Structure 1
Amino acid sequence: MKIIFCTCLLLVGLHAVSPIQLTSKHDRHDPNESQHSTLHKGEVMSCLKLVPNNADFAFQFFKEINLETPNKNIFFSPVSISNVFAMLAFGAKSSTQTQILEGLAFNLTEMHEKEIHEGFHHLIHMLSHPESEVYLDMSSMIFLPKMHKPLKKFLDDVKALYQMDALSVDFSNPAEAEEQINNYVERKTNGKITCLVKDIDPQTVMLLASFTFFKGKWQTPFQPELTEEREFFVDEETTVKIPMMHQTNRFDFYFDETIPCTIVRLHYNGSATVFLVLPEKGKMKNLEQTLDKETVLKWSENLSQRSISLYFPKFSLSANYDIKHTLNKMGIIDVFTNQADLSGITGTPGLKVSKVVHKTALEVDEEGTETAEVTFAEAAVSFAGIMPFYFPQIIEFNRPFILLIFDRATNSTLFIGKIVNPVTIT
């Protein structure tokens, strides 16, 4: 599975037992073997303090955006959204700052603002560690009109903490501003994200943009010659033809009878992993309503190895969100109005956020490494004569499903998606 994305993140707790553990009991992640083991323990703990809050934000955001776009593909990166708004809170004052941090699911009586910013700083560092076998690049930027010059202290601090870029743009010339912003983002993403913004309002006061680029290779790849066209049942009236990848192997598996749904977990090389969640027919709404960190914890603690003949779509999609309304519903309001206090950015009042752009792209294919281990399908052939009673379970993702991509080293939720129609580009 090769993936290209844009925007956000999510983590798990400071407690001895993390509230959303992503590894099953038989393969607990050993921090002594992690690519991040060279980091100081204090840095790791600072990062992990954010986990339960980021998890709550991620799943709440999913539920809100799902209500806005029912029966449509959804794909977003919660870490990118949390990251850029935590950065914005660094330049906010009074109730504007409080609303942002509480909207990101932080309890300010339990965690000091300084701890939040330090946690995000270490999180970004851990996720982009050069020793990682998974390529992940998180970037955020603020585009400001030329009359609003950021304070040097603010600029220095956010660059150090959040790796944030700030650029001056002439919003009074929308065509020129769009070209400047889109060219900049296209360069930063190596051409993966194009046309980030369009139809800019000449009255724009500030524009935030955040993206995450992720590319992972399956630990055990799908073989292209096994991919074949099969049916995907979008709903009771709509069926589409899609290329369906296939492999037979031993996978982490769990069937949740309470929702009900089937969970299959696959690994990438490195520390990234994906939960593929297939609800029973007619039970997608049950899954949407119950999806939270406690549910994922239950799944991860009950995974067991099972031989599965897995069919999974090969597809690509993109999504472009203006998430201001969604964030409003989560309590982040003043920063978008004339009541905004962002004087920590420029030193003067009168600045507000006019738009938040969140663009994502996802590509899923068979790609893997040449050194991947032999699949169970080949072993099954070898032993067919000895164990004639053995048959792998067939699981086919041929109807709407949920996918959750995590980084096990930090217990971070990198991406959340609901795939309703893999042929449709949202």
Structure 2
Amino acid sequence: MKSWTFPIIVGSVFMLGCDATNDDDVPPFENDALETAMAKAMVSKNNQFALDFFQEVSENEEKENYMVSPLSLSMALGMVHNGADGDTKLAFDDLLGNDVSLDERNQFNKDLRKSLTTKTDGTDLSLANAIWIQENFPVAEDFTITNQNFYDAEVGNLDFREPEAVTTVNDWVERHTNGKIEELVEEFDPQTRLFLVNALYFKSQWKYRFKTEDTRNAPFYSSPENSVEVPMMNMNAEVPYFSNETFSSIILPYKKERFEMLLFLPHDGLTTKSIVENMSSENFNAWLEGYELSDLDVGVPKFKMEYENKLNDELTNMGLGIAFSFDADFGNINKDAPLQISDVIQKTFIEVNEEGTEAAAVTGVGIEVTSAGPSFVANRPFLYMIRDSYTGSICFMGKVGLP
């Protein structure tokens, strides 16, 4: 049987600075459309998707360090959702939220993207989308128009059989990830018909400063029996703190306090898997209610890593298996071509140091036819999360097992 491939790529970049600031003014990011009960329910559904996604990745990942971007993935899948029909559309509905219509979800993603996009003193966040279509391959006009209107997607034509197509896509990815991801694809299958990309870029400064002179080598226990010396950043600050029977956690705010990093450190004798296993939406919301401001000595290791993962199995386990099969129905892209997802790939990059954090993520989906005081010291494997405190949206989640 003749087949085509339709990949989708999600690009995410995360960059943070750590300069001190006393300027706590909040940028004008409020959006009345995100204050409705429906919008709040959709954020909750998005976060449930994020936590389920992270659990699936963590289940079989053997690497010490990894990071994913649930927000970038959900935005990319949101674009693909507009091309699905029949039972395939129902699978997307179940995964991304079937309590609202597709039009309402598109409008929510548009409002969320508008709210998150900001460029103010100390904070820069952008979301970019693109769709490339094989030259002379017919695609339903409603599909491209909808993604242009709600996702501000750039739409263009490429000949995926030519090497120039790889250059075009990788140049776009590098440009929209501030150079953190230089290469997303090495080559295209000649049967590729569409390629969708979402790029998420984020840069912000810490609210409380890690001073370079306070960084010193300290042991990091990758296991109870093994340790390595790592540069440990240190500071004393009054930050939100939470602890239960499994882990302790702090929230490190960024400048303007809209975005924040949550660190989750398992207690002695437990592992990060103990935390992941309990990361349900209900539990996570309960944890957020328990943080209290505490004056702490904080220690966080400097770390830098890159990560790549094909997410076909994870999304299949989450209920999207039909989209990867011969039974897939993407009739709202092309009613005559039996399209199916071939691959979903995400690439990420992150670096945390005194100057800040840089991170990038790219996901591709292919569719084919067919101290003396209280302290929090992350000196053993821990989890982290970057979230938007205004909407509650989870942007990035990761694990550090060996800085």
CA RMSD of aligned residues (A): 2.5
Of residues 332, 339, 349 in structure 2, which corresponds to 1:344?
A: 332
Q: CA deviation at 1:117?
A: 1.3
Q: Partner of 1:65 in structure 2? A: 57
Pairs within 5 Å for 1:234-313: 234-257=222-245, 260-270=246-256, 271-284=258-271, 285-313=273-301
Question: Does structure 1 conserve the Cα–Cα contact (< 8 Å) formed by 2:300 and 2:379?
Answer: yes
CA distance in 1, matches of 2:225, 2:191: 45
Pairs within 5 Å for 1:385-396: 391-396=372-377
Q: Partner of 2:396 in structure 1? A: 415
Q: Partner of 1:364 in structure 2? A: 352
Instruction: Identify the structure with bigger relative contact order (alpha carbons < 8 Å, sequence gap 6+).
Output: 2
Question: Does structure 1 conserve the Cα–Cα contact (< 8 Å) formed by 2:107 and 2:150?
Answer: yes
Q: Partner of 1:401 in structure 2? A: 382
Q: TM-score, normalised by structure 1?
A: 0.79
Deviations 1:292-329 (A, max 9, x none): 22222222222122221111011111212221221111
Residues 6 and 185 of structure 1: CA distance in aligned 2, closer, same or farther (over 3 Å): closer
Paired AA for residue 307 in structure 2: A
Residues 8 and 330 of structure 1: CA distance in aligned 2, closer, same or farther (over 3 Å): farther
Pairs within 5 Å for 1:71-220: 72-104=64-96, 106=97, 108=98, 110-131=99-120, 133-173=122-162, 175-220=163-208
Question: Does structure 2 conserve the Cα–Cα contact (< 8 Å) formed by 1:8 and 1:78?
Answer: no
Unaligned runs of 5+ in 2: 1-9, 15-24, 357-370
Question: Does structure 2 conserve the Cα–Cα contact (< 8 Å) formed by 1:206 and 1:351?
Answer: no
Once the two structures are overlaid, the 10-residue window that deviates more, 260-269 or 232-241, is 232-241
Deviations 1:34-83 (A, max 9, x none): 6223x3x2354254331111111111111111112135322111111111
Q: Partner of 1:49 in structure 2? A: 41
Q: CA deviation at 1:352?
A: 2.7
Q: CA deviation at 1:33?
A: 6.3
More strand as a share of residues: 2
Residues 72 and 147 of structure 1: CA distance in aligned 2, closer, same or farther (over 3 Å): farther
CA distance in 1, matches of 2:179, 2:109: 27
Question: Does structure 2 conserve the Cα–Cα contact (< 8 Å) formed by 1:78 and 1:414?
Answer: yes
Residues 155 and 205 of structure 1: CA distance in aligned 2, closer, same or farther (over 3 Å): closer
Q: CA deviation at 1:344?
A: 1.8
Q: CA deviation at 1:148?
A: 2.0
CA distance in 2, matches of 1:216, 1:117: 27
Q: TM-score, normalised by structure 2?
A: 0.84
SS in structure 2 of the partner of residue 49 of structure 1:
helix
Question: Does structure 1 conserve the Cα–Cα contact (< 8 Å) formed by 2:176 and 2:201?
Answer: no
Residues 238 and 144 of structure 1: CA distance in aligned 2, closer, same or farther (over 3 Å): farther
Seq. identity, %: 27
Unaligned runs of 5+ in 1: 10-31, 369-389
